[in-house]
Amino acid sequence: MATRVFVCGVAAAASLAVAGVALPAQSAPAPFNRTASGTVFLPNPVQDLGIETLTDQKDADYAALAPAYHRVTLTDLDGSGTLTGAYVRVKSSTGKPAVSVGGSFPAFHRDTDQFEQVMGYHWVTTAQAYLQHLGFGSTLRPVNQRQIEVRINQFGGDNSFFRPDKANITLGKGGVDDAEDAEVIVHEYGHSVQDGQVGGFGTSLESGAIGEAFGDYLAVVVTSWAAGAPTDPPEACVADWDSVSYTRLVPHCLRRLDGVKHYPEDVIGEVHADGEIWSRALWDIRTAVGDTKASTLIVEAQFAFAPDTSFRAAALDTVAAARRLYGASAANAVTKAFQARGIL
Ligand SMILES: [Zn+2]
């Protein structure tokens, strides 16, 4: 059987940028103020339980996974009883919609389509909550405060993607279902965030690599914020659970934020691989100035990016955002992080 490899892309971004497709308005209508309880992974069983030997077992709900299910409060819902809220509406291409009764979704587990639906809702909403906790939408301008669509496609390949023309995310299956790993969901939301900031972002190789890198960074920082940073496996490991299906090395990681790739000699012309150059710089910025300042300046900088920005231009924008928000010492730390990668 062929090895399945998780691939994420931004569908047709270049042609859409040319077509000039209008984006939905970035506003959060008022009525989305209801909550309901639901069952999720926080953020995935490998990271939560620290067990690298867990395997997919064909989507089975087996005993070792039992402690990885957690009851949480889903927020920003519209009160319809469906997974429809201020920042996301969930559609399943392959299963019945999850419905809540009396403010409570049933305790779906991973062997049902509805579990992935609840995961998609919860983690997109959590990622937006993280951005708002940084000040985006209050002290800073809003970022991606629009309702996107998350589609669960259980019959698709192991392949998730963001479609800028429809502002939606599709989460596929193949090995561990993509929506069973919060870091895959938030990675995809990272593409949505950048598209919300700069329509059609990612039309060149380097801007595409920045897109993949930011998705990986956001995945790690949002899940650490919401579920606590893991000590084992390493925090810098992305998609610890999704990747058990297609990696042999332990810890299982789709990619890492703490690699040693250097520009330009490690560029291979593939956006995910080259993104590890950029994501290591983001990781070093976070280490230097802390999570809140790092994520704030990284996201704020992205408003200035051209859709086809280069590593160098985007790095200079990020240094400028650091200086504007936090002064010279933060700007120096950011400069050093990009110098260490060969970008500045
Ligand atoms: Zn991606």
Among 154-168, 299-313, 315-329, which stretch is predicted with the lowest mean pLDDT? 154-168
**Segment 77-106, tens digit of pLDDT:** 999 999 999 999 999 887 899 999 999 999
9 alpha carbon to ligand 1 midpoint, in Å? 5
Please provide the average confidence, as pLDDT, over all residues in the chain.
90
Contact present, 2 and 183 (Cβ < 8 Å): no
291 alpha carbon to ligand 1 midpoint, in Å? 22
pTM, entire model = 0.92
Among 56-60, 128-132, 134-138, which stretch is predicted with the lowest mean pLDDT? 56-60
Q: What is the mean pLDDT of residues 231-243?
A: 89
Banded pLDDT at 22 (limits 50, 70, 90) = very low
Rounded Cα distance, 195 and 16, in Å:
11
Rounded Cα distance, 264 and 116, in Å:
39
199 alpha carbon to ligand 1 midpoint, in Å? 16
**Segment 146-195, tens digit of pLDDT:** 999 999 886 666 678 888 776 788 888 767 888 889 999 999 999 999 99
271 alpha carbon to ligand 1 midpoint, in Å? 9
73 alpha carbon to ligand 1 midpoint, in Å? 27
Alpha helices in 135-203 (DSSP H): 182-197
Which pLDDT score is estimated for 158?
A: 64
DSSP notation for 211-278: HHHHHHHHHHHHHHHHH---SSS-TTEE-TTGGGGT--SSS--SEESS----TTTT--S-HHHHHHHH
Fold for 6-340, please state it: Elastase; domain 1 (3.10.170)
334 alpha carbon to ligand 1 midpoint, in Å? 24
Would the pLDDT of 244 be above 60? Answer: yes
Q: How much of the chain, in percent, has pLDDT values that exceed 70?
A: 90
Supply angle C-alpha 127, 288, 334, rounded to 5: 85
236 alpha carbon to ligand 1 midpoint, in Å? 16
34 alpha carbon to ligand 1 midpoint, in Å? 31
169 alpha carbon to ligand 1 midpoint, in Å? 11
Residue type, 19: A
Please tell me what DSSP assigns to residue 28. Answer: -
Q: What is the mean pLDDT of residues 273-302?
A: 98
208 alpha carbon to ligand 1 midpoint, in Å? 9
14 alpha carbon to ligand 1 midpoint, in Å? 15
30 alpha carbon to ligand 1 midpoint, in Å? 31
